[in-house]
Every structure is written in structure tokens, then in C-alpha cells.
Amino acid sequence: MDKPKYLKEKYNIYVFDSYEDVPGWINDAEFIYPQMVEQAQDGDHFVEIGTFLGQSTTHMAQLIKDSKKKISFDTLDLFWLIPHTLNNYEQSGHPKSFCDYYNDIMEEWDLNIVDVIQHPMRFLEVDKYVNFITCDEKYSHKIYEDNSIQFLWIDGDHGVDVVYNHLVNFWPKLKKGGYIGGDDIHYEEVLDDVKKFSKEYDVKVKYDYNSFLITKE
């Protein structure tokens, strides 16, 4: 597995200048999120599946704040699983510094995991631009009405058929002209799911580095 783009040997839990100071695997969300915000209109609804420690979430929140647009932004995760993933970083493939960051915060303030994720956002004064929703991602589509989402980013579970099911389940939730995309197409399971969906639904997919993006025409 490649190293995270902004990997630090030691994260400073008291200093945050941007999302780059938050542990995570932002990958292609770094350039796709600005594109989505630039194209967005007041009243648009964005959804992110897979929050982890909030690197891409912080990026989107800052972009929305800076844009001054009225964009509603939800990030969904089973947050209570994240500490287990971090404390077993060797098996889960994360750098040790991610685990150290989490444990440093817990030692200093003993926060719940959502507060840990919100911690840098409060420093950057962008926490109010994000709605945190605890939900098993396989059921997350049930939260939303049809034709309600302008942009959905999938970066959660990468198991067999997971991304495919998200694409199928969220397709009716997407507005016409909206976008649905995701990260980590270097995983065979993710790429196979995207290809399967695109073939069945006869849609074109834009592939970029490590991501995919589909427009609902």
C-alpha cells in the first residue's frame, strides 16, 4: 500500500493549519472535492461515505466555508469501529503515527471518537459545515429521498459488492446532473464493482489516478 500523501511521523494535536495536518488517505478527493464545490449551487446536498479521522471531511468543510455557498454536507461512518482499526494499525494497513495521534488525543482529553474527528475542525472553525451521521453504510441510502443528492463520495468498505450495492442503491437518490464517485480503484473489488455497474446501467465512467466519477445525465 502506498503511503498517505501528507503522512507525518508525528502529528501535532494542538496545531492544525489545514486538512493536511489531519491523518488520512485523502487521495483523489483532494482535487475532486474542489471541483464539486465550484460547480455547486445553493441548496445542494453532498454525502461522504467513510469518515475515518476526517482528513477529506475537513477538506470539504473548509471548501464549503470558503465558497460561502449553502451546501449541506453529511459524512457517514460506523465511528465506534475506528479506534479498533487504529489500535490494530498493522493488520489494517495504517501508519503507526495515525494510532499515535488518536492515543495522544485520548490521553490529553479522553474524547469519544466523533469528538476526536471534530477536534481539528474546531481548531479550523469548520465543524459547523459538517453533519456527522452514525450509520452502517449498507443501510445509508435509506436516509435519503430520491433526487436529493448532488454529490456522493464512496470511500468506506472495499469488500466484494459493497461499492456496487452503493452505486445501485444511491443511483435513484442522485439528482439529474449529480455526481457519484469514489476512491481506491486499485482494489480489484472496487474496480470490478464500478465496471459491473457501468455496464448494467449503461453509464460512462471517468477514471482518474485512483478514483472514479459518474455523472447522472
- The SS3 assignment for 190 reads helix
Query: Is a pLDDT exceeding 90 seen at residue 167?
Result: yes
**CA gap 132, 154 in Å, rounded:** 15
Provide the CA 33 distance to its chain's centre, in angstroms: 10
Q: For residue 2, is pLDDT > 90?
A: no
Mean pLDDT of 143-170: 97
Residues contacting 64, CB < 8 A, separation 6+: 37, 71, 73, 126, 129
Residue 61: predicted pLDDT:
98
| pLDDT confidence of residue 1 | 55
The chain-wide mean pLDDT, for the chain, equals: 97
Render pLDDT for 71-118 as a digit per residue (tens, 0 to 9). 999 999 999 999 999 999 999 999 999 999 999 999 999 999 999 999
Closest of 40, 34, 49 to residue 144, by C-alpha? 49
Q: CA 72 to CA 47: how far, in whole Å? A: 8
Q: What percent of the chain has pLDDT over 90?
A: 99
- In angstroms, the CA 98 to CA 70 distance is 32
| Average pLDDT of span 107-135 | 97
DSSP per-residue string spanning 33-54: HHHHHHH--TT-EEEEE--TTS
Section 20-39 average pLDDT: 98
- For residue 208, the 8-state DSSP code is E
CATH number of this structure's domain 21-215, picked from the four choices 3.40.640.10, 3.10.150.10, 3.40.50.300, 3.40.50.150:
3.40.50.150
For the cut 90, the answer to whether the pLDDT of residue 20 exceeds it is yes
Angstrom distance (rounded) from CA 164 to CA 188: 12
| Residue 131 in this model has a pLDDT that exceeds 60 | yes
Residue 21: the pLDDT is: 98
Give the integer Cα–Cα distance in Å for 141 and 7.
32
Give per-residue pLDDT as tens, 180-192: 999 999 999 999 9
C-alpha angle 103-83-155 in degrees, rounded to nearest 5: 120
pLDDT for 37-84, tens place per residue? 999 999 999 999 999 999 999 999 999 999 999 999 999 999 999 999
pTM above 0.85, yes or no: yes
Half-sphere exposure in the Cβ direction for 217 (13 Å, CA): 7
HSE-CB for 43 with a 13 A CA cutoff = 3
